[in-house]
């Protein structure tokens, strides 16, 4: 059961961008989008599992380079420090490939149905290692 999930209806920015102002603007945008639905207290002592799903066009940034800016943007809003992130899953799927939505979370389904680049983020309590393997 997710503690929190949200959808960013915009193409993510890579950590490798040369324009640091654009990177900061992207982090601010992520934070702003999360704050629209996060209305709980700051998580301070719970290890977290973050799932990121990037629905992309045909020329996406590397999936590993979009993770850090998103995690950094949520520090101080959702969790006290990103040291609380114990597990991260990052996925990229091309919208042009067609995506079966039947078993996807509703919010991710809506992103697929919109047909535009977006990023789905789910934060939940981290589980024991054997549950992931």
Tell me the three state secondary structure of residue 6.
Answer: strand
Average pLDDT of the chain is 94
At residue 58, the pLDDT reads: 85
Residue 77 has pLDDT above 90, yes or no: yes
Q: What is the DSSP string of 68-129?
A: HHHHHHTBTTTBS-GGGEEEEEEEEEEGGG----TTS-HHHHHHHHHTS-EEEEEEEE---G
What CATH number is associated with residue 38? Answer: 3.30.1330.70
Q: What is the pTM (predicted TM-score) of this model? A: 0.94
The number of folded domains in the chain is 1
Give whole-number Cα distances, 101 to 2, 8, 25, 78, 110, in Å: 18, 18, 31, 28, 9
List, for residues 5-30, the tens digit of each pLDDT value. Answer: 999 999 999 999 888 899 999 999 99
At residue 1, the pLDDT reads: 64
Q: What is the mean pLDDT of residues 115-124?
A: 97
Give whole-number Cα distances, 126 to 31, 61, 122, in Å: 22, 27, 12
Torsion sign (Cα): 35, 37, 41, 46: negative
Token readout for 1 is 């059961």
State which residues form the domain around 94: 4-131
Distance CA 31, CA 76 (A): 10
């Amino acid at each position: 059961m997710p503690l929190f999930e949200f959808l960013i209806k915009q193409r993510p920015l890579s950590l490798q961008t040369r324009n640091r102002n654009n990177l900061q603007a992207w982090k601010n945008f992520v934070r702003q989008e999360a704050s629209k639905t996060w209305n709980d207290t700051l998580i301070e002592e719970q290890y977290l599992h973050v799932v990121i799903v990037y629905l992309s066009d045909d020329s996406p940034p590397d999936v590993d380079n979009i993770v850090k800016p998103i995690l950094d943007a949520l520090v101080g809003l959702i969790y006290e420090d990103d040291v609380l992130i114990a597990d991260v899953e990052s996925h990229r799927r091309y919208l042009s490939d067609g995506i079966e939505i039947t078993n996807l979370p509703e919010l991710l389904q809506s992103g697929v149905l919109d047909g535009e680049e977006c990023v789905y983020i789910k934060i939940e309590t981290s589980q024991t290692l054997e549950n992931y393997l």
